[in-house]
Structure 1
Amino acid sequence: MALSCPSCDLATVDFAETTDDGQTRLHCRTCQHDWVHRPRIAIPATPPRSPARVPLNQAKAHFPTEADLTDSARHRFTELKGDYLSHQPMTDPRVGPYFTRYREIFSSHGLPQAAPADLKAFANNDIGAHPGNMSVFNRAWNELGDRAAADRVRGVIDYLLRGTEEPIEDRMQTLIDARGGLGMTGFKESLLTRTLCVMYPDRFLPILTYSSPAGGKKEIAASVFGLELPAMQTTSMTTGRLVFWSNDLLLRLCGTGFADVAHASQFLWWAQQR
């Protein structure tokens, strides 16, 4: 079974020792990182300390709100929404059963036994939300092998959903940064957001990137609502926080009248092109 270092992702790993409690301690020849390999959900016994961040409420106070919407933007949005809702929405009948199945797989009792094939398929399936090109993830998975890669993905999902007491926005950032031995190459913003869409389908829009050339939540906010959200390159706000706050803002701006969150996201994609 091929293993890679959780610090540098290189497969230059040597066996170091077997600990008193029967676990395996490994050593990376490249970066000199030592760690204990846990064969199931690999949550460290001591959760990683997050770097100092601006307190959540203080940082969020600088994020745009509905009050920043201009009268002209509000009027244009109302017209677009009325036009869209006058047509019968098209829904994908596969999404409901698919999300229900993966909610069971990702549950606290289902995740430890989740089949590697199901975990890899989740990253490569676009039902309900398209995660984009997964070549980096697939290459890392193949280099690790099914068992080690599945262990890593189980650890990522479990930490995101049920990790430390810090806000989930900051747990997402810990996984994006791969701190404390957590994280999986290629299982970053889009797949973490897709996991949230599955687990909390009434809250998370199946729009999986904060900002992208094809249109993420930042671009949709600008084109549909005339709101300029912070650029990741120039803000001290973390990606994890921006992912959550932009999702919640767009959902509040959409308001009522949509069949569900997926219907609202379909409207946003449609309105972005108008």
Structure 2
Amino acid sequence: MALPTCPVCDSGDLDGVEKLPDGRLVVRCLACDHEWVRGEALVPAKPALAASYESLKGAFPTADDVRPQVRQRVEALIDTFLETQPQTDPQVAPYWAKYQQIFSEDGLWEADPEDLKAFANNSVGAHPGNMSVFNQGWNEMGTEKAAQRLRRTIDHLLRGPAGTRLEDRFTDLVEERRGLGMVGFKESLLTRVLCVVEPNRFLPILKYSTPSGGKKEIALLVYGLDLPAREKVSWTIGRLVAWSNDLLVGLLRERFTDLQHASAFLWWAKDQAPAGA
């Protein structure tokens, strides 16, 4: 390889003066004092862009992904189910109505602490599971402090700052971002609040994924749809909860009197001959 020489006087007596931020070198000829820049600028690799909300939502499975033969099987299962279980639990509607008032913007801040605590320990309409962590946290905080913390948690979930998405507010509370959230009042109870306040949107199936069957497992066993794993951070738990719910509701709405009835079918159908086995 030929050694560099000065382009003016052809001298090889050169000195490096300065290395530029882009990797090129400023060189000076010691014979004639001419300076020039040698080398090619290094173009930094662009950092990988995080997937956007819209691109992730567009990649989430839809009703169109359900195979025709699976649709036929589900319709036959619905026919069988409705022959034997045509009604929903009559105590759910009045219980939901009571808590719709308690969780309203006007009712929440005056809500009786005992009503707030009771909500976490009642299984009417949807069973939230073991609430020992919540109850211990409540007792350690004391009634007034715990009730106020829970009021702020529910208000952030349902209303939150202007312009924020429900999915992001849900994730804030599950992950306790910026000091938000209430101990023990996580995914199942937050989803139960949504079921009460928006009973025509949210199925009373309170977990996204669980060994006994969450929305992810139900989507696979009933519809043959493989939903994303929660461990993939970009999806976030709030997005997975909301999008899986909307997917299942869209597949079921027309055949059932309400979403209580629809969720009862899904619990039953997942234990039949599974589409995703």
What range is the shorter-chain TM-score in? 0.7 to 0.9
Deviation of 1:253 (Å): 1.1
Please list, as runs of the form range in 1=range in 2, the aligned pairs for 1:111-126 lying within 5 A after superposition: 111-126=108-123
Identity, % of aligned positions: 56
- Bigger Cα displacement from structure 2, 225-234 vs 236-245: 225-234
Q: TM-score, normalised by structure 2?
A: 0.78
Task: Judge conservation of contact 2:253–2:259 (CA < 8 Å) in 1.
Answer: no
User: How large is the RMSD of aligned CA atoms in angstroms?
Assistant: 1.4
The structure number with the bigger radius of gyration is 2
Greater RCO, CA 8 A, separation 6+: 1
1:88 Cα deviation from its structure 2 partner: 4.3
1:33 is matched with none
Question: Shift of the alpha carbon at 1:206?
Answer: 0.2
Give the corresponding residue for 1:76: 73
Question: Per the alignment, in what secondary structure is the counterpart of residue 259 of structure 1?
Answer: coil
Which AA in structure 2 matches 1:171? R
Deviation at 1:194, TM superposition (A): 0.2
Separation in structure 2 between the aligned mates of residue 130 and residue 54 of structure 1, nearest angstrom: 34
Residue 157 (str. 1) matches residue 130 (str. 2): no
CA distance in 1, matches of 2:144, 2:238: 28
Aligned counterpart in structure 2 of residue 191 of structure 1, from 189, 202, 209:
189
Q: What do residues 34-54 of structure 1 show as CA deviations (whole Å, max 9, x unaligned)?
A: xxxxxxxxxxxxxxxxxx974
Alpha-carbon deviation of 1:123?
A: 0.3
> 1:236 Cα shift?
2.2
Quote the Cα distance in structure 2 between the aligned partners of 1:63 and 1:74: 19
- Tell me, yes or no, if structure 1 residue 99 matches structure 2 residue 96: yes
| 1:235–1:175 CA distance, 2 compared to 1 (3 A) | closer
Range moving further from structure 2, 199-208 or 78-87: 78-87
Shift in CA distance, 187/53, structure 1 to aligned 2, threshold 3 Å? farther
Which residue is 2:201 aligned to? 203
Scaled by the length of structure 1, the TM-score of the pair is 0.79
In the other structure, the counterpart of 1:167 is 165
Matched letter for residue 248 of structure 1: D
Corresponding pairs, count: 223
Distance in structure 1 (CA, Å) of the matches to 2:183 and 2:256? 36
- 1:1-274 pair list within 5 angstroms: 54-164=51-161, 165-234=163-232, 236-274=234-272
- The residue matched to 2:59 in structure 1 has which SS? coil
Work out the CA distance in 2 between the residues paired with 1:199 and 1:254: 20
SS at match of 1:61: helix
Counterpart residue type for residue 193 of structure 1: T
Cα displacement string for residues 47-87 of structure 1 (whole angstroms, at most 9, x for unaligned residues): xxxxx974322210110001111122112111111211223
Deviation readout 1:91-140 (Å, 9 max, x if unpaired): 21111110000000010110111111011000000001100010111111
Shift of 1:245: 0.3
Corresponding position of 1:15:
none
CA distance in 2, matches of 1:266, 1:77: 14
Query: AA paired with 1:223?
Result: L
- Structure 1: gaps spanning 5 or more residues: 1-51
- Whole-angstrom distance in 1 between the partners of 2:219 and 2:267: 11
Q: How far apart are 1:195 and its partner, in Å? A: 0.2
Give the deviation of 1:228 after TM superposition.
Answer: 0.4
Map of 2:31 onto structure 1: none
- In 2: Cα distance, 1:53 partner to 1:182 partner: 24
Determine if contact 2:173/2:180 at 8 Å carries over to the other structure: yes
